[in-house]
Structure 1
Amino acid sequence: LRLKFIALPLGRKLGVRDKVRLNAPPNPVLETFYATHSKKPKEGELICLSKQCDLPARKVETWFRYRRNQDKPSLTTKFCSVSLFVLLLQPLQRSVYWYYMMEFSFALLLTFTMAFDVRRKDFKEQMVHHAATIILISYSYCANYLRIGSLVMLLHVSSTFLLELTKLLHYLNWRRASHLLFLIFSSIFLVTRLIVFPCRVLYTSFYGSMEFYQPYFGYYLMNALLMVLQLLHVFWASLIIHMLYKFVNGTV
């Protein structure tokens, strides 16, 4: 049922299509040899088979190539088997479900409220970030990439709440507390976004996954969105480093 109603429609939506294959024409002699002797006959065997079937050796060789291709699983079959493998390895726990729903709702809320909030200097970057986040959460949930999706959300949440708390303390004019919290936030942000995210998440998504699967549309979509996030991380990291420089020089 999972293959028929989940993996197969998902593959079609993502553009997974089988290549047109030429089937080997029926030939009892060659079929018997293929099944009982060898799928790749040697040159002497090709000559012998060509005499038995009254066919040129080149056509016999072509027949065996077509016949071997028939036994290879199609791209759709491979996609469905990988999808089933992912579904079996990553069951959706109730806690993960609610975590996804909360993060998705929060991302949507931020996207809508930014239009009515005070417009900051990085307004465009924030909108791009929220759009990429919403698409990534949706896609990782639908494709059942729950592990990488949860890890990406966790890395972002680990520093985001500290930034909001730092702003609150700054508005309350609690300078020492806000400065200390900003240093903690900066350390966590730079480590998680510039070290952990590219070295663990991006590396695994770009290269580690290729050890087991072939690239397809979803591979390019997810990695493109992850790279968008990484570019935004670099942009915000430069702002944070600039703030730290001003902080050290006592201009903040």
Structure 2
Amino acid sequence: MTTSISTWFWSDRFWLPENVSWADLEHPPPGVEYPRLGHLVCVLPLAVGVFLLRKLFERLVAKPCAHILQIEAGVPRRAQPNAVLERLYQSKMCPDTRQLEGLSKQLDWDVRKIQRWFRIRRNQDRPSMQQKFCESMWRFTFYLVTFLYSISHLWVSPWMWDTRHCWYNYPFQSLSPEQYNHYVAELAFYWSLMFSQFIDIKRKDFIIMLVHHLATIILITFSYANNMLRAGTLVMCVHDASDIFLEAAKLANYAKYQRLCDGLFVVFSISFFFTRLVIFPFWIVYSVLFESWEIAGPYQAWWLFNGLLLVLQTLHIIWFYLITRIAIKAIFKGKVGLVFCRLSIKTKLNNYNMDCHY
């Protein structure tokens, strides 16, 4: 039963070009290695290692930096213990009018007192400024390191300068150690985010982030199994580039370096525009859409990957519109730092999408 389902799911006709089978990829020439799904079995243990590394980094590096910058954790005001309100809070953090009136009669409390209890309780669960700083510093470090690593091996790769090389002799393209390391690092990072969601403070966008991370993991895994590594590494590199400046600007914002924050946000906006609205659609998506059709020919999975890339590009346009609109309002008020608060509330750009990979 399991074998038949696996055979059906990994159909040659769906995942591979015409006249190519999985068996063809199982026996590469001497000295050549093709990607195999079994290569990724190490990802889950590595993800645990990445999560532990993050905790170590936050304690030994990020928190001391926060103390130097005088970013204190702060102790939020705690809500008065109440079993009835706590039980409702766990299922609904913002009760409606009918529920408030019912609680008022049940507890013999004024409605405004109950609303105040829920407001204090919500603030109690919000991460402190120091927590946000440590999280952003970890992300900044990861994006910077992976971006520099990807650039170092892509710079000397012919497909960095001529994307047609992504499809020559596809899918019989050898796997390099740099490509493998890049994919495994990104995949382990997103698996670690999946783990941390259940351990960290539960936020309002928990379900959205869970779906996002899961979709990213699936895309990275399938593009590896399908040997789309050349295009995949280009996509991940392009996305990491602007994320570096977003996290850097947030760090400056938390540290209250307003001018630095303003400058970094401008750099982030420009880099987002060029990487997500110029390089990504006119260089990478164009190659996957047209050059792959011309050189390797279309097949069923081709439609799946291109559809997902076009959906991602649509989201890029929407996000840039929101960034621009909010930034203009903040600039007129003379407080670009407000951008981060409003972006967090309206679009969750910190996590929800900026790191969405192929």
- Structure 1 residues 217, 246: closer, same or farther in 2, change over 3 A? same
Aligned to 1:168: 251
2:324 paired residue among 220, 228, 241: 241
- Structure 1 residues 145, 173: closer, same or farther in 2, change over 3 A? same
Task: Report the RMSD for the aligned CA atoms in angstroms.
Answer: 3.1
Is this contact kept in 1: 2:269–2:323, CA < 8 A? yes
The CA deviation at 1:114 is 4.1
Amino acid in the other structure paired with 1:155:
V
Gaps of 5+ in 1: 1-8, 18-74
Q: Is 1:132 matched up with 2:215?
A: yes
Query: What is the TM-score with the length of structure 1 in the denominator?
Result: 0.63
Is this contact kept in 2: 1:186–1:240, CA < 8 A? yes
Is this contact kept in 2: 1:136–1:149, CA < 8 A? no
Question: What is the alpha-carbon distance in structure 2 between the residues aligned to residue 185 and residue 135 of structure 1?
Answer: 27
Aligned to 2:263: 180
Question: What is the alpha-carbon distance in structure 2 between the residues aligned to residue 82 and residue 203 of structure 1?
Answer: 28
Aligned to 1:77: 19
Aligned to 2:279: 196
The CA deviation at 1:152 is 0.3
Is this contact kept in 2: 1:152–1:201, CA < 8 A? yes
2:191 paired residue among 96, 105, 108: 108
Gaps of 5+ in 2: 1-5, 29-168, 336-358
Amino acid in the other structure paired with 1:77:
N
Amino acid in the other structure paired with 1:86:
Y
The alignment of Structure 1 onto Structure 2 pairs a total of residues equal to 185
Amino acid in the other structure paired with 2:203:
R
Question: What is the alpha-carbon distance in structure 2 between the residues aligned to residue 208 and residue 11 of structure 1?
Answer: 29
Aligned to 1:93: 176
Amino acid in the other structure paired with 1:219:
W
Is this contact kept in 1: 2:197–2:206, CA < 8 A? no
Question: 2:333 aligns to what SS in structure 1?
Answer: coil
Amino acid in the other structure paired with 1:140:
S
- Structure 1 residues 249, 14: closer, same or farther in 2, change over 3 A? farther
The CA deviation at 1:226 is 1.2
Q: How high is the sequence identity, in percent, across the aligned residues? A: 34
Aligned to 1:16: 13
Q: CA offsets per residue over residues 15-54 of structure 1, 9 Å max, x none?
A: 518xxxxxxxxxxxxxxxxxxxxxxxxxxxxxxxxxxxxx
The CA deviation at 1:160 is 0.9
Higher mean alpha-carbon deviation, 143-152 vs 113-122, is at 113-122
Question: Could you say which structure has the greater relative contact order, defined with CA pairs below 8 angstroms and 6 or more residues apart?
Answer: 2
Larger radius of gyration: 1
